[in-house]
Amino acid sequence: MKKTLLLSLVFGLGASLSVAEPQKPNVIVIMADDLGYGDLSCYGTKSFETPYIDQLANEGVRFTSGYCSASTCTPTRWSFLTGTYAFREKNTGIAAPSSPFRVNHETTCIADMFKTAGYSTAVIGKWHLGLGGEEGPDWNGELKPGPLEIGFDTCFLLPTTNDRVPQVYVKDHRVLNLDPSDPLWVGSKAPSPEHPTGINQRETLKMDWTHGHNATIHNGISRIGFYTGGHKARFRDEDLADKWVEQSVEFIDENKDGPFFLFFASHDLHVPRIPHERFQGATDLGYRADAIVQLDWCVGELMKALDDRGIAENTMIVFCSDNGPVMDDGYADEALEKLGDHKAGGGFTGGKYSVYEGGTRTPFITRWKGAIEPGVSDEVVCTIDLYASLASLTGTALEDDAARDSMDVMGALLGKAGAKGRNELVQQDNGARGNFGFRQGDWKLQVHAQGKARNVVVEKLLETTAVAKIQLFNLAEDPVEKNDLAESNVKKAEEMKARLDKIIADGRSR
């Protein structure tokens, strides 16, 4: 059972130089999906404009060494919620359509911490952490355990990720608008040979598949997995962003007297990339870039909602991404053909699925009007650190067995002069290959257990590259990780490998 969290009214200044007194601003964490370091105009792209996120950066702190903890979505989201590296737990790789709930509901999570601090809490958007007990979700009944069992008061979800079935909304514990006379069935095998799929009815697709995404067709797009029924509950892909904004503004309205915590989990850039019609053609780079412009609009709408209600000065916004970029991720959406000279990864090597910098170094911005001095920071911060840092901000003590790898870097997140971020950070891929990145100061160790790395070149997703099992880079001199120093600096590589092994073996680093 969860232990009762205690409010700590006095806490010392740690290495992070966190704030001296507990404060309780509203907190909105906006987590983009598959957004690369170079995908925003405030991070250097000239291919298109992202004015609202640029405004967020101009009014806050833009981090040049901001990270997610993994290069795929499920483990990063798991680590954000639990404050613990996902590789420490089994079954934290990419969740299948009918995956059981991936978070032990007896684990104290970030939403639990906010509840203890007196916050109203919500998660709106992409979930992709499973629902239900060991046998998976009961799509026609109560979908529990789920977000409400780990501290969220309410949720409005895309239950999996949109290239996986089913295409329905989940409101709290149930599928929204589900007609009992048309039950929803979800499975891993086709229910009949005639079931419409991207293989047997490929000519009907409005967006073709390139690999893997060729099972059940919905809205002219074939997906991973099979489902039938639930027709009144199904959504249109093009409407997802509008729905997330609508539900978020409703939650803000209901809790504008605060304090509240909102986890806004975007899906825009993740395949299948189908932005709303008003954003289609917004750029010259195809639907992927159009989806970034749509994401920027979402951020602008949330900022406008705060301004209109007079609570922007009492709201801290954290903008981040769950992993780096990918181009062809299963659909023929012209992301590659129209890429031009746009560098989604900002020039870093690798992207989604890899432990190179392009896989985990992503846009990271904090804004809190009146509390954060605008600027640019090169301190190392990570999505996994939001748990401990926000607990510090609100004066909420952490249980000893909670947030095992989350560090209090609130001073850095607030842009405090002299405040330090992390000195060490472990990065992982999806978890199945035993690949790790380990940053220690300016040094970066890579471990590839099988001597293979995926998506080293972000434009070539299916390419697996043979690499040395141990690689060492100096990011200050070689941020693109091209000059492997493992053989010329054996002692440093061995020291870092020993330290990484200890962090993994210890079961915690906080």
Query: How do residues 404-463 score in pLDDT, each as one tens digit?
Result: 999 999 999 999 999 999 999 999 988 766 899 999 999 999 999 999 888 888 776 667
How confident is residue 16, by pLDDT bands cut at 50, 70 and 90?
very low
Same domain, 278 and 312: yes
What predicted TM-score, i.e. pTM, was given to this entire model? Answer: 0.94
Q: Tell me which residue of 326, 314, 397 sits closest to 358, measured CA to CA.
A: 326
Does any domain span residue 2?
A: no
Close Cβ partners of 220 (under 8 Å, ≥ 6 residues apart): 204, 205, 206, 207
In the prediction, which pLDDT does 20 show?
52
Tokens of 429: 């891929």
Q: Which residues pair with 197 in a beta bridge?
A: 216
417, 435, 456 - which closes a domain: 417
- If asked whether residues 460 and 408 sit together in one domain, one would say no
| pLDDT for 370 | 93
Q: Which of 368, 395, 417 represents a domain boundary (last residue)?
A: 417
Evaluate whether 151 touches 109 at the Cβ level (below 8 Å). yes
Does residue 380 fall inside a structural domain? yes
CA–CA gap between residue 131 and residue 269 (Å, rounded) = 23
The residue type found at 493 is: A
Query: Locate tokens 């909420």: which residue?
Result: 396
Strand pairing category for 315-321 and 120-126: unpaired
CA distances from 58 to 73, 314, 365, 372, 382 (A): 27, 18, 10, 11, 20
Any domain includes 227? no
Judge if 348 and 470 occupy the same domain: no
* Two structure tokens written together for 360: 């985990």
What is the spatial distance between Cα 28 and Cα 40, in angstroms, rounded to a whole number? 20
Beta-carbon contacts of 506 under 8 Å, excluding residues fewer than 6 positions away, are none
What is the structure's pLDDT at 5? 41
Same-domain pairing of 363 and 495: no
Instruction: Answer whether residue 186 is part of any domain.
Output: no
Count how many domains the chain has. Answer: 2
Q: What is the pLDDT of residue 10?
A: 34
Residue 365 three-state SS: strand
Average pLDDT over every residue of 102-107: 88
Q: For 287-334, what is each residue's pLDDT tens digit? A: 999 999 999 999 999 999 999 999 999 999 999 999 999 999 999 999
Give yes or no for residue 495 having a pLDDT over 90: yes
Asked if the model's pLDDT at residue 52 lies above 90, the reply is yes
* Whether residue 392 is found in the same domain as residue 501: no
The answer, yes or no, to whether residue 12 has pLDDT greater than 60, is no
310: left (phi over 0), alpha (psi -120 to 50) or beta: left
H/E run at residue 465:
strand 464-466
Structure tokens at 224: 């991973």
Q: Is the pLDDT of residue 228 over 60?
A: yes
Segments forming the whole domain that contains residue 454? 425-506
Closest CA to 160 of 138, 133, 128, 136: 128
Residues 124 and 252 in one domain: yes
Average pLDDT value for the chain = 93
- Give the pairing of strands 226-228 and 221-222: unpaired
- Of the chain, the percentage scoring pLDDT greater than 70 comes to 95
- % of the chain at pLDDT higher than 90: 88
Is residue 14 scored above 60 in pLDDT?
A: no
Does residue 287 lie in a domain region? yes
DSSP codes of every residue in 219-231: TTEE-BSEEE--G
Domain check: are 263 and 314 in the same one? yes
Pair (495, 354) in one structural domain = no
- pLDDT at res. 53: 98
Sign of CA dihedral 141, 146, 151, 156: negative
Q: Are residues 435 and 383 in the same domain?
A: no
| pLDDT recorded at residue 114 | 98
The CATH number of the domain where 391 resides is what? 3.40.720.10
Distance of CA 189 to the CA centre of its chain: 29
Q: Are residues 441 and 408 in the same domain?
A: no
pLDDT at residue 9 above 50? Answer: no
The pLDDT of residue 378 is above 50: yes
Confidence of residue 465 (pLDDT cuts 50, 70, 90): confident
Whether 136 has a pLDDT exceeding 80, the answer reads yes
Mean pLDDT lowest among 115-119, 193-197, 374-378, 463-467: 463-467
Q: How far apart are CA 472 and CA 150, in angstroms?
A: 39
pLDDT recorded at residue 461: 64
Smallest CA-to-CA distance from 1 within 107, 96, 102, 74 is with 107
Same domain, residue pair 138 and 172: yes
Q: Facing residues of 474 across strands?
A: 443
Task: Please report where in the chains the tokens 């560098």 appear, as a residue.
Answer: 343
Q: Is residue 200 part of a domain?
A: no
Q: Which of 417, 434, 453 is the last residue of a domain?
A: 417
In a domain, 15, yes or no: no
Cβ contact 504:454 at 8 Å: no
**Same domain, yes or no, for 482 and 401?**
no
* 21 lies in some domain: no
- Coil, strand or helix at 289: helix
CATH assignment at residue 433? 3.30.1120.10
pLDDT for 453 equals: 86
Q: What would the mean pLDDT of 11-21 be, rounded to a whole number? A: 42
Q: Is the model more confident about 6 or about 504? A: 504
